[in-house]
Structure 1
Amino acid sequence: MLLIAHRGGTERYPELTLASSRLSLELGADYVELDIRFTRDDVPVISHDEDALKLFGNPAKIQELTAEQFSSLRYADNHQLHPHTLVEVLSIGAAPVVFHIKEGGKRLPQILECIRAYGYEDKVIMGVMTSEDVRIAKKFNKNIEILALMPSKEHAAEFIENGADIIRLWERWVDEEAVRLIHEAGRQVWVMAGYKGTTGYTSPENILAWKRLGINGVLVNEVEKTKSVLLNFQA
C-alpha cells in the first residue's frame, strides 16, 4: 500500500513546506501531496487554504496577493520557513509528488506546461477535482497519471470514463463494494484518512483493515507512524 504524505506531511515541520516534504520522503513516503492555487498575478503557488490566516496569521486571500507578497509570508509556527511557488518546488526537485489542483479548468494547461518545462511528467500524479480536468490532462499527455478527487463516490464511473487512473475515497466512503467496483474497472483506490472529524489522521486498525481490503494507497499526515504500522503488518 502506497504511503502519500498529505500536505507534505506535518509531523515535524509546517505543512506544504519543502522541509516537510523532504523529511516525509526520507521517512519512506512514496509521494508527497501538495496543493496548488493562483496568486493575483496568475502565478501557481503551493497553498491549500483560500487565505493565509491559519498558517501565516494574515487574513488576505491567496488570489489577492502577488507572488512576491505570497513568498514573503512566514509560517506562524516557524518564522524561518516561507511558502513556495510551484516553480520553486519543481526547480528544487521535490519528487515524486501528487499535486492537488485547487483551481483547474482554464488554468490547468498552465500548470501542465510548467510541469513539462521542468521534466516532471513522469514524476507527478495530477489530482483533479472535475472529470473535465481529467480529460484536459489526458489530452495534454495520455500517460500522465491522474488522481480523481471526486465530490462523492457516486462520481467514480464518470471520472473513470474520462481516464482517471486512481480514485480517491474519503475514509467514510470506504466499503468493500466501492473498492471492488473500482478495482474491476482496472483503477487504483486511494483513501484520504479522516478519522473522527480529522483530515489526514486515522487509527492503526483502519490502516490494517484497508491493507487487507486491497487499498492501493493512503493519504496521511503521520508518515513515520503509518510506515511503522505497515511494516508490522501480518497478512
Structure 2
Amino acid sequence: MPAASRGPLIVAHRGFSARCRENSPAAWQAAHACGADAVETDIRWTRDGVAVCFHDVDLMRLTGMSDRIAETDSAVLDEIALAGAAIAPRFDDFLATLPPSVQLVLDIKDERPSSLERLLPMLAGIPAARLVLGLHRAETVAALRDATAARILGFFDDPDHEDTFLERGGDVFRLWEQHATPERIARIAAKGLPVWVMCGGDGTGRAVGDIDGEGMRRLGAAGAAGLLVNDPEAARIAVRPNAAKKEMVS
C-alpha cells in the first residue's frame, strides 16, 4: 500500500458509494478511477455456497424485499437488478472489475464455521499482499491467523479491545470515528497496530462512511493510518490537497 508519508490510506467503503449504488461494479470502477488506495466490499454466501458482495442480511433496505442472502440461491439473486446491475454481484465480479494492482478489503459478514470453510479456497488464487480481511470476532481471527498471510483488520465493537485482537494475531484495528480520539489512536498505534477509522456513524451526525474534511485532517494528524469513506475522491482532496492539485494539472 502507499507510503504513510502520503497521509492516511483512502479506503472506498462499498466502492464509491457516495456516487454509485453500493457494492456494485460501477462503484468499484469509480473508486479505482478516482485514485482510492483500496476498495472495500462485504462478503456473504448464498444458499448454494456462492460468495456475493452485499452488506445486509436481507434485501429489505435496498429493494423492499425480505429475501435473506443466506437463504437464496445465487441464480435467483443474479436476476434481481438494481441500478443496472445484479443486486448482489458475485465475488468473481468484484475481482474481474478491478485490476490486479488494486488493494482489496473484504468485510466478512458471515463468520459461521461452515462459511469460513469456503473462504480460504475462494482466496487461494489472490496474492496475500493484495488482501485485507475484515473480521468481527476474536475467535475468527485466531482461527484464520495461521491459515492466511493476508492482513487481518479487526472490526471489533469494543474500541478498547485491541489487546485481545493483537493476541489473536490481528494486523490493523478499526475504530469508529466517534471513538477515534488522538489518545486512543496513539495508544493502539504504540502497540504496533495501525488504526483505520470508519468515518461517520453514530456520534458524528453523519451517515456511516460520510466525511467531514476538517475532521479527516484531524484524524490524519492524530495518526490514523487509513480512512474508510463513501466518497474517496473528496477524501483524497481533503487529506492530500497538494497531491490532488498536481494530478489535476498533469
The TM-score, its normalising length taken from structure 2, stands at 0.86
Greater mean alpha carbon deviation, residues 103-112 or residues 203-212? 103-112
**TM-aligned CA deviation for residue 39 of structure 1:** 1.2
* Map of 2:71 onto structure 1: 64
Of the three residues 14, 24, 41, the one matched with 1:34 is: 41
1:160/1:187 Cα in 2 relative to 1: closer, same or farther (>3 Å)?
Answer: same
* Structure 2 residue matching 1:133: 3-state secondary structure: helix
Q: 2:181 aligns with which of 175, 178, 186?
A: 175
- 1:115 aligned to 2:123? yes
**Conserved? CA contact 2:16–2:231, under 8 Å:** yes
**Aligned runs of 1:145-224 on 2, under 5 Å?**
145-194=151-200, 195-224=204-233
Tell me how far apart the structure 2 counterparts of residues 134 and 208 of structure 1 sit (CA, whole Å).
31
Offset, 1:93: 4.5
In structure 1, what is the Cα distance between the partners aligned to 2:216 and 2:97?
A: 32
Q: Is the 2:135–2:155 Cα contact (8 Å) retained in structure 1? A: yes
The answer as to whether partners of 1:52 and 1:61 remain within 8 angstroms in 2 is yes
**Which residue does 2:5 correspond to in 1?**
none
CA distance in 1, matches of 2:222, 2:141: 26
Q: Who is 2:90 aligned against?
A: 85
1:192 is displaced (CA, Å) by 0.2
Identity among equivalent pairs (%): 28
Q: Whole-Å Cα distance in 1 between the matches of residues 53 and 16 of structure 2? A: 14
TM-score (norm 1): 0.91
Partner of 2:3: none
Name structure 1 gaps, 5 residues minimum.
none
CA displacement at 1:225 relative to structure 2: 0.9
Q: Which residue of 1 aligns with 2:24?
A: 17
Relative to structure 2, which stretch is displaced further, 217-226 or 102-111? 102-111
CA distance in structure 2 between the partners assigned to 1:139 and 1:72 by the alignment: 38
CA contact (8 A) 1:87 1:114 kept: no
Q: Secondary structure at the match of 1:8?
A: coil
Would the aligned equivalents of 1:134 and 1:162 in 2 still touch at CA under 8 Å?
Answer: yes
Q: Distance in 2 between matches of 1:14 and 1:169?
A: 25
Give the count of matched residue pairs: 229
Which amino acid in 1 is paired with 2:70? Q
Deviation of 1:42 (Å): 2.2
Instruction: State the distance in 1 between where 2:12 and 2:196 align.
Output: 12
User: Once the two structures are superposed, what CA deviation does each residue of 1:148-191 show, in whole Å capped at 9, x if it has no partner?
Assistant: 00011121110111111100000111112211221111110000
Q: Confirm or deny: 8 A CA contact 1:90 1:115 kept in the other structure.
A: no
Instruction: Answer yes or no: is the 8 Å Cα contact 1:179–1:189 preserved in 2.
Output: yes
Deviation at 1:92, TM superposition (A): 4.6
How large is the RMSD of aligned CA atoms in angstroms? 1.7
C-alpha displacement of 1:65: 0.9
Sort the Cα spacing of 1:27 and 1:147 in 2 relative to 1 into closer, same or farther, 3 A: same
What is the distance in 2 between the residues matched to 1:105 and 1:64?
Answer: 14
Q: CA deviation at 1:54?
A: 2.2
Tell me whether 58-67 or 215-224 shows the greater mean CA deviation.
Answer: 58-67
Q: Distance in 2 between matches of 1:90 and 1:108?
A: 19
